[in-house]
Amino acid sequence: MKNKKIGIMGGTFDPIHTGHLVVANEVLNFYGLEEIIFIPAGDPPHKKGTMAGSFDRYIMTEMAVLSNHKFKVSDIEIKKEGKSYTLNTLTELTEKYPDAEFYFITGTDAVIELPSWREPQEVLKLCRFVAVSRPGISMDEAAVKISEINKMYNSSIELFQAPMLKISSTDIRQRFKTGKSAKYLLPESVEQYIIKNNLYGSNDLR
């Protein structure tokens, strides 16, 4: 009997922001999850110039969740060289927590990419899949896409309406690069870490 509900939220978290934290908390409340594990992705083999490395992304994610004892961070993907497949990560987690039911949380922008993942059908078998609303894709559009995917894989991905927060790491990186404030879009501790460590070309903000 699976008696522990655990949320999983993967991402590059480059950097982690308020959007990630708010939607994770909404899903945790709604489904009565015991905890959510944030899993920063490993560095891609050919990293682009403006991105932070896995160590910094991991530390920022740790800082962001520090005040919430139900939020955890796993280094399972950053410990590995190159790209990790969700299938492998979920398989490892299933072995580590045999009595857990996993809720895999993604934004609607990420879930529509699912057919291009490695063995989506297997991934869908290992967890309950929750797609949270995100500005850029309407709920109607997302519902149509998700029902197509569900038909394709005989799965039951659920669409979850979270507060629509138009926050993205891409926009935050751009703000640091151009000397514009990103305050309140991300935790203050993470903002300070970025400035202190000169990430994303943030030197003008010191």
Binding site for ligand ATP (CB under 6 A): 11-14, 19-20, 23, 106-107, 109-110, 132, 134, 165, 167-170
Is the CA virtual torsion 101, 70, 39, 93 positive or negative? negative
Distance CA 38, CA 191 (A): 19
Position with the least CB separation from ligand ATP:
107
Question: Could you tell me the smallest distance in angstroms from the CB atom of residue 103 to ligand ATP?
Answer: 13
Question: Could you tell me the smallest distance in angstroms from the CB atom of residue 16 to ligand ATP?
Answer: 7
Judge whether 105 and 132 are in contact, CB under 8 Å.
yes
Question: Could you tell me the smallest distance in angstroms from the CB atom of residue 13 to ligand ATP?
Answer: 5
Question: Could you tell me the smallest distance in angstroms from the CB atom of residue 3 to ligand ATP?
Answer: 26
What is the DSSP code string of 144-173? Answer: HHHHHHHHHHT--PEEE--------HHHHH
What's 199's DSSP letter?
A: G
Q: Which is nearer to ligand ATP, 25 or 91 (CB)?
A: 25
Q: Which is nearer to ligand ATP, 100 or 132 (CB)?
A: 132
Strand pairing category for 71-73 and 128-132: unpaired
Q: Which is nearer to ligand ATP, 13 or 103 (CB)?
A: 13
What is the DSSP code string of 89-105? Answer: HHHHHHHH-TTEEEEEE
Q: Which is nearer to ligand ATP, 95 or 150 (CB)?
A: 150
